[in-house]
Amino acid sequence: MSSDSRDLLQLINETRKYINHLQQLGVEGVGTNSKTFARLQPAETLNAPKPPLREVIEPIVRAQGTAPTTTTAVDSLFGELAAEGERLCPSGETFEDIHQEIGDCTRCPLHLRRTNVVHTEGNRKARLMFVGEAPGADEDMQSRPFVGRAGQLLTKIIEAIGLKREEVLIGNVNRCRPPGNRPPTFEEASMCKPFLEREIAIVQPEVIVTLGNTALQNLLGAKQGISKLRGTFQDYKGINVMPTYHPAYLLRDPSKKREVWEDLKKVRDHLESKKTS
C-alpha cells in the first residue's frame, strides 16, 4: 500500500470517528448512510488518486450549514463544529430520591465520627444557591447546614442583598463533619459531590455562590485559589458561579467583609438584571 493510500485510509477512519462523535452530540445531517459519507468508503478509494484534503472535509462541514473560515480544512472542521462547554441537563428526580439513596451513608471514613448526615436545605426552586465545604459541630448536631456562628453571618449576608434565607438553597460539598472541622479530603469530597451535582440539576439555579477554597475547587475543579478567582463569575455547566470567602473566614478576618459584600452585590445585580430582562 502506498503512503498516499495509507494517509487517505487514516483520514477516512478519523472522519468516521468524528462523524460518530457528532451523531452522539445530536448533530443532524451526517451519517454513514449519507451521500456525504458515501464517497469515503475505503474499498473505492484506497487505490484511487488522493484527493485534496479540503475536497474530502468540506462536504461534511457544508452538511451542517457551516463553511470553513480558515485556510486549513481540518482546523475549520474541528474549530467551527467543536462542541460547546458542557451544560447541565434538567433532572426528573427529587431531593427525596437523593436522600433515600444516600441513606445512613458509609461511603467514606467521615461517617465514623459524625452524628448526622447534613443535607442541602431551602427553596428547591431557588434562583440562588450557596455551597460551602462541610458541616461544623453545630450543623452536625442539628442536621442542618450553616446554623452555627458562620451560618448566622451567612443569613445576614443573604438578607443584605434583599433575600430571605428560606428563598435560597444552602448546602455543602460534604454532608458529614470532618474531625476537628478540617477541610474534607479530595477522596472524601468525591464521594459526596455527585449528590450535590444531582441537586443542582434538579433546582437549576441561576447563580451559585461557592464559599471558600474547598467548595470552589471541588465544585469547579479550579486550580487557582479563592483570592485569585473571587469577585469574578465562573462557569459550572452553564450556571454562573461567584466564588467568595467562607463566612467562617470572615469571623477570623472581618476586614474581608467588604470584599464579600462587593461579590454579593454583583450576584444581586445579576439576578435583578435577569428578572427585568
Residue of 31, 35, 1, 34 lying closest to 16 (CA atoms): 31
Q: Mind listing the pLDDT tens digit for each residue in 187-228?
A: 999 999 999 999 999 999 999 999 999 999 999 998 899 999
CA separation for the pair 136, 124 (Å, rounded):
23
From the number of C-beta atoms within 10 Å of its C-beta (0-12, 13-18, 19+), residue 66 rates as middle
Strands 234-236 and 239-244: antiparallel
Residues 17-49 have pLDDT tens digits of 666 655 555 544 555 444 444 444 444 444 545
pTM of the full structure: 0.70
Question: pLDDT by residue (tens digit) across 44-53?
Answer: 444 545 445 4
pLDDT at 14: 66
Residue 150 predicted with pLDDT over 80: yes
Radius of gyration of the chain (CA): 25
Helix, strand, or coil (residue 128): strand
Decide: helix, strand or coil at residue 236: strand
Domain layout of the chain by residue ranges: 3-80, 95-276
Q: Is the CATH code 1.10.3210.10 the one for domain 95-276?
A: no
pLDDT at 86: 73
